[in-house]
Amino acid sequence: MGILKASLLITLLLSSTALADWYILIPKKPPARREKPRNVPLPQLKPNKIEAKPYRIEVRKILSPDFAIRTLELKKITKKDLEGRKVVIVFLKNLYSPLSELLLSTLQEIAKKEKNLVILAVDINDADFPILRKFKESMGLKDIVVTADSYVYIEFKERLKVLNVPSLVVIDKYGFIRFFANEIEEEKITSASKELEKILKSLG
């Protein structure tokens, strides 16, 4: 009996040790792998609102072309003649339209107040001078030089790339294009004229 008990005890110890070793060697269950999310939604950033100024586009000193025009009195005016003075050129397609009449009458009021300023109104359809004279007299445009010259318009359009009538170009006293307004709308003429007055003051 003693031998049997000893055998059983040895067997029990061996089996328990083996079981214990086996338990230790059992690998632990690895943690579940998290799949990387696909197409992670990015937060939407709201852009800062910028106050729109549709009436003017600032140009970083583009040299104006060497243009020349003829007045209704057949006097030639060149770019060189205008050096030292601020120049506003307005290009129009149809003089006898509500938009053109309102725009020119507004510019006439600016011309009265602004010193050292020359305003040129250029009809791009090359209208006859007798028609232009009649138009100028009927509108009372005493302080605006009215002419017709499609070539001058082409010169400025090539320089600025985008210049659709009715448009307005501001040239400083050194002969550089500083601002221009493109495709002026009738309902925005009042706002555009206020903006123009600020621009002219800033140019000294």
pTM of the entire predicted model: 0.71
Cis, peptide link before residue 65, omega less than 30° from 0: no
How high is the mean pLDDT of the chain? 82
Give me the sheet containing 86-92, strands edge to edge.
57-63, 176-181, 167-171, 86-92, 117-123, 144-148
Residue 187: which of 73, 82, 74, 106 has the closest Cα? Answer: 106
Helix pair angle (189-202, 98-113), 10° resolution: 30
**Model pLDDT for residues 97-107, shown as the tens digit of each residue:** 999 999 999 99
Please report, rounded to a whole number, the percentage of residues in the chain having pLDDT higher than 70: 71
**Model pLDDT for residues 190-204, shown as the tens digit of each residue:** 999 999 999 999 998
The CA distance from 69 to 83, in Å, is: 15
Q: How confident is the model at residue 85 (pLDDT cuts 50, 70, 90)?
A: very high
Residue 180: which of 12, 8, 24, 61 has the closest Cα? Answer: 61
Write out the two tokens for 149: 């010259």
Report the CATH fold assignment for 57-202: Glutaredoxin (3.40.30)
Q: How confident is the model at residue 16 (pLDDT cuts 50, 70, 90)?
A: very low
Please determine, for residue 134, whether its predicted confidence score (pLDDT) is greater than 80: yes
